[in-house]
Amino acid sequence: MKVGIARELLFFEWVQELKSRLDQLSHKIEWVHDSTGEARQQLLVDGDSCYPFKKMVRSSISLLDNVDVLLVPRIVALDGFLMCPNFRALPDIVMMNKKRNRLSMEVPVLTPEVDISQALQAEHLAIRIFRDIFGKDPEAVRTKAVEVKRGAIDLKDRDISKSIALIGHPYVLADPCLNNGVPDILRLNGIDTAYAQEIDFKELSDLAASFDFYAKRLYWRSAREVLGALIYFTRIRPAAGIIHLAPFNCGVDALMRIELMALCKRMDEAPPYMVVVCDEHTQRDHVVTRVEAFLDIVNGVKIV
Amino acid sequence: MKVTFPHLGSMYIFCKAMAETAGIPYVLPRPTSNRTRETGEYSTNESVCLPLKIILGNFVDALDQGADTIVMVGSGPPCRLGLYDRIIKVVLTDMGYSFRWLTIPGIFNWQALLQNREEAKVLRKELTLGNYFRFPWAVIMGWKKMMWCEQLERTAAGMRAVAGDPVEVDRLLTKGLDAIDKAQGVTSLSEAGNAAVASLGDVKKTGRPPLKVLMVGEVYTVMEPSINMDVERRLGHLGVVVHRSSYFSTHIRRGSRLDRRMLKERQRLLQMARPYLNYDVGAECNFSVAEAVLGSRQGYDGVVHVYPFSCMPETNAATVLSVVSEDLDIPVLPVVIDRQDMGLRIDTQLEAFVDIMTWRRQGHII
């Protein structure tokens, strides 16, 4: 059974965990995350949505040719905090495009609602998805949680004082198309990088909580992630510099950029902080120039 | 203490009436202008939505005029409106202003009430017994004024489309709103309101059948003419009656959750958006879609969807409305608003839209 899910969604730890639990429930699932070709149709979402959202819709649609079932989870909340409204609408927009373009009409689209903050909820959700895919109950219902932080070296064992910290949405940090290649440019310059996603979300959320004021709690998960990461990389374990990779037109990051910028201004001896707004442009030179200029500031180059 | 509040359509009349009746000194920001937009724009960034920029500009103006206490209606997730107060506070502090803040909870939960209690702690010391005593009456007076304003605006929207001289309707509306604003008691308010409605009714009509359009979208953009580039007035001058999806009272009723009829209506609208959106995306997104569906059933000639550039829920509504338009055979005009000075662009779009609706009505477009 070929089950497709857009690669961009896999950068959420809970989605990875769901996938792993489904694998434990059935060995018959063959996952498909990349298509052989990109969706060529003019999609309905090609307006002023943010680029990651458009890419998620496009990736999901492009998988249709090559799968038996398409999984487009409606990610409402993770770890008790909300996702942006786009994630709530994603399944509907994908289905609308599928119907309108009459694409692989025989392929069912599963849109489970994802609101997970505990392993048990992930287990139950995995069973529900299994039922929807195979039309029957799984033989074994118990599944194990996976190690949430995969592949990342524990930051605590690393000296990050000379590293550049990268903060932003997980899919933006991980996907070169969405981050305009900033991590690669840093690597080519011989710079070590530290990612916000290498820190446990609970720790980031607790750090962000110091700025909450009753109802003025940051309710978006990604907002808590970037605010917590900024505090972590400035106060707890300072990095040499911080680059915030924000997608153009991202409503969450638009507000967070204001708050983070103001916070950096108020801090004594805060490491240099730069926002790179990433969009659909493919020009690399201007990104290289900005990153190099930032590295000059980090390295204390002075213009005489 | 000098309180201030943002401009939101004719809401300032409601706020002013409350402050005046309760005897609380206030500063009214000047009407929203390009300068207001620019102030908000320079202090934020390109992806921040226009309402936040305008509200920020209003507050800067009021603080410059001597206000020291900002009162703003709050909201809940997942839209950005729920965090406006948090972010505006950050920006104003960063700009060097000192002020006090009071959020009127948009949704009544314990966190919002605790926050309100905390924020009001200092303010309470500055209020006299007289202020407290007059407050219930101030709310009644404010509410009555708001209802009159809304009735007048509805009447003007209907008359503008059929009037021989639509500019006369604009003039009478301004005059009527001014009279309502100045009225000091219930009797004089009712006289001013009735006189204004009657004067609009006396305007000479052309007799041509008007087109009927529904304006849906993000609440702030729908209600504040300086944000939506006065779409309602511009369409009225082209012979179109514009029915707004939102009035200030609609949102107070929805937010308070006290009006059972509104709660049922809310459920009905969410249901109506179901074929397209199976989950409440947030803010007005599902309502924009549902109202467009309802509009097509009620025989409207078209739907105008206004929303600020980068508004997350309404961007999705725009995508869905393009499908609704095809499915239900009703023209939908998306008007995405940002800080650009684009009156002529809006005029051109609206004229083309009106042409399409006229041709459709005449049977030239099937």
Q: What is the ipTM of this complex?
A: 0.92
Helix axes B129-162, B166-182, angle to 10 degrees: 170
DSSP category for residue B81: G
Buried b vs exposed e over B312-351: b needs ≥16 C-beta within 10 Å? bbbbbbbbbbbbbbeeeebbbbbbbbebeeeeeebeebbe
Residue A116 CA to residue A73 CA, distance in Å, equals 12
Q: Do A213 and B86 touch (CB under 8 A)?
A: yes
Triad A166, A59, A39: Cα angle to 5°: 135
Quick check: A214 and B111 CB within 8 A? yes
Nearest CA in chain B to A49: B315
Please report, rounded to a whole number, the percentage of residues in chain A having pLDDT higher than 70. Answer: 94
Say yes or no to pLDDT of A141 above 80. Answer: no
Instruction: Give the CA distances from residue A196 to residues A107, A165, A266, in Å, rounded to whole numbers and listed in that order.
Output: 37, 7, 22
What distance in Å separates residue A53's CA from the closest CA in chain B? 10
Lowest mean pLDDT among B146-150, B210-214, B339-343: B339-343
Q: List, for residues B192-211, the tens digit of each pLDDT value.
A: 999 999 999 999 999 889 99
Mean pLDDT of B294-316: 94
Q: Is residue B246's pLDDT more than 70?
A: yes
Question: Strands, DSSP E only, in B90-161?
Answer: 100-104
**Shortest distance, CA B113 to any CA of chain A (angstroms):** 8
CA B212-B215-B221 angle, 5° bins: 155
Is the pLDDT assigned to residue B254 strictly greater than 80?
Answer: no
Average pLDDT over residues B226-253: 90
Residues of A whose CB is below 8 A from B46: 248, 254, 277
Same fold, B3-127 and B209-366: yes
Which residues in chain B have their CB less than 8 angstroms from residue A248's CB?
Answer: 46-47
Nearest of B240, B213, B225 to residue B305 by alpha carbon:
B213
Q: B150 to chain A, minimum CA–CA distance in Å?
A: 31
Mean pLDDT of chain B: 91
pLDDT at position A187, please? Answer: 95
- A92 chain-B contacts, CB cut-off 8 A: 276-279, 316, 320
Nearest to B105 among A45, A47, A215 (CB): A215
- Across residues B176-202, what is the average pLDDT? 95
The tokens describing B38, both together, are 């620019």
Residues of B in contact with A83 (CB under 8 A): 78
Structural domains of chain A ordered from first start: 2-134 (3.40.50), 155-298 (3.40.50)
A255 CB within 8 Å of a chain B CB: yes
pLDDT score for B116 = 83
Q: What percent of chain B has pLDDT over 70?
A: 98
Q: How confident is the model at residue B117 (pLDDT cuts 50, 70, 90)?
A: confident
Q: How far apart are the C-alpha atoms of B310 and B220, rounded to whole Å?
A: 14
- Residue B92 reports pLDDT greater than 90: yes
The Cα A201–Cα A101 span in angstroms is 39
pLDDT tens for each residue of B258-295? 778 888 888 999 999 999 999 999 888 999 999 999 99
Q: Where are the domains of chain B?
A: 3-127, 135-208, 209-366
B312: nearest CB among A47, A251, A265: A251
User: What pLDDT, on a 0 to 100 scale, did the predictor assign at position A258?
Assistant: 95
B82: chain A residues, CB-CB within 8 Å: 219
Burial class (CB in 10 A: 0-12, 13-18, 19+), B136: exposed
Q: Which residues pair with A226 in a beta bridge?
A: none
Inspect the interface and report whether the beta carbons of A219 and B78 lie closer than 8 Å: yes
Strands in chain A per DSSP E: 2-4, 30-32, 69-71, 74-78, 81-82, 109-110, 113-116, 164-168, 193-195, 241-247, 273-278
What is the pLDDT, as a whole number, of residue B307?
Answer: 94
Query: In this prediction, what percent of chain B has a pLDDT beyond 90?
Result: 68
Tell me if B319 and A49 make a contact (CB, 8 A cut-off).
yes
Q: Scan for tokens 């708001």, then name that residue.
A: B146
Taking the C-alpha atoms of residue B144 and residue B292, their distance in angstroms, rounded to an integer, is 29
Give the per-residue pLDDT at A150: 45
**Inter-chain contact A89–B316, Cβ cutoff 8 Å?**
yes
C-beta atoms of B312 and A86 within 8 A: yes
CA distances from B273 to B268, B269, B281, B324 (A): 9, 6, 11, 10
Contact A196, A165 (CB under 8 A): yes
Which residue from A minimizes the CA distance to B113? Answer: A215
Average pLDDT over residues A77-101: 94
Which residue in A has a C-alpha nearest to residue B47's C-alpha?
Answer: A249
Query: In the CATH scheme, what architecture does the domain B209-366 have?
Result: 3-Layer(aba) Sandwich (3.40)
Search chain A and give the residue with CA nearest B43.
A258
Interface with chain A: mutation pick from B86, B91, B101, B118, highest number of A CBs within 10 Å: B86
Q: Which of A81, A111, A253, A255 to mutate to test the interface with B (most CBs of B within 10 A)?
A: A255
Interface with A, mutate which of B42, B44, B45 (most A CBs under 10 A): B45
pLDDT higher than threshold 90 for residue A39: no
10 Å Cβ neighbour count for A60?
A: 28
Indicate yes or no: CB of A213 within 8 angstroms of CB of B115. yes
May I ask the CATH class of domain B3-127?
alpha beta
B163 DSSP assignment: B
Check CB contact under 8 Å for A84 and B312: yes
pLDDT at B40 over 90: yes
Q: Is A120 on the interface with B (CB under 8 A)?
A: no
Has residue A151 got a pLDDT over 50? no
pLDDT reading at B248 higher than 50: yes
The yes-or-no verdict on residue B328 having pLDDT over 90 is yes
pLDDT the model gives residue B364: 80
Weakest-pLDDT range from A35-39, A237-241, A243-247? A35-39
Q: With H, G, I as helix, E, B as strand and everything else as coil, classify residue A215.
A: coil
Partner-chain contact A249 B87, CB within 8 Å: no
Q: What's the longest Cα–Cα distance across chain A?
A: 73
Among B307, B319, B323, the residue to mutate for chain A (most A Cβ within 10 A): B319
pLDDT of residue B330: 95
Interface test with A, best of B100, B285, B312 (most A CBs within 10 A): B312
User: Smallest Cβ distance to B48: which of A100, A255, A262?
Assistant: A255
B chain contacts of residue A208, beta-carbon cutoff 8 Å? none
Number of Cβ pairs < 8 A linking chain A and chain B: 138
pLDDT for A17 equals 92
